[in-house]
Amino acid sequence: MYAVIKSGGKQHRVVVDELLKVELLKVEAGETIKFEDVMMVVDGDNVKIGQPVVDGASVEVEVVKHGRGDKIRIIKHNRRKHYHKEQGHRQWYTLLKIKAINA
């Protein structure tokens, strides 16, 4: 059984007991939250597709921790113009553990 949920403007395919990184959520570590934005639920041959969400479906998750991702380098350079700019970025994330999919 798996589901497709929406979080942070992105869609994620989730399975029970999976660890999932999503954009930072304002929730304390250790808390349990429920996602109501479930786009699709698949249980074997039984497929429920929402328009845009499946009615009555939810996914329960536990917040494991918050962290920052790997650094990405942004480099801008114009040749022969003495222009060179470097910048780095580390995106904040929340690590979630999928507890249950309720269809």
Instruction: Spell out the per-residue pLDDT of the chain, length 103, in tens.
Output: 999 999 999 999 999 999 999 999 999 999 999 999 999 999 999 999 999 999 999 999 999 999 999 999 999 999 999 999 999 999 999 999 999 999 8
Q: Which residues contact 62 (CB under 8 A, 6 or more apart)?
A: 30, 31, 32, 96, 97, 99
DSSP 71: -
The first and second tokens of residue 63, run together, are: 């917040």
Range of the domain at 41: 2-102
**Nearest CA among 90, 50, 53, 58 for reference residue 74:** 90
Which residues 6+ apart lie within 8 Å of 35 measured at CB? 5, 6, 7, 58, 59, 60, 61
Domain count, the chain: 1
pLDDT at 103: 86
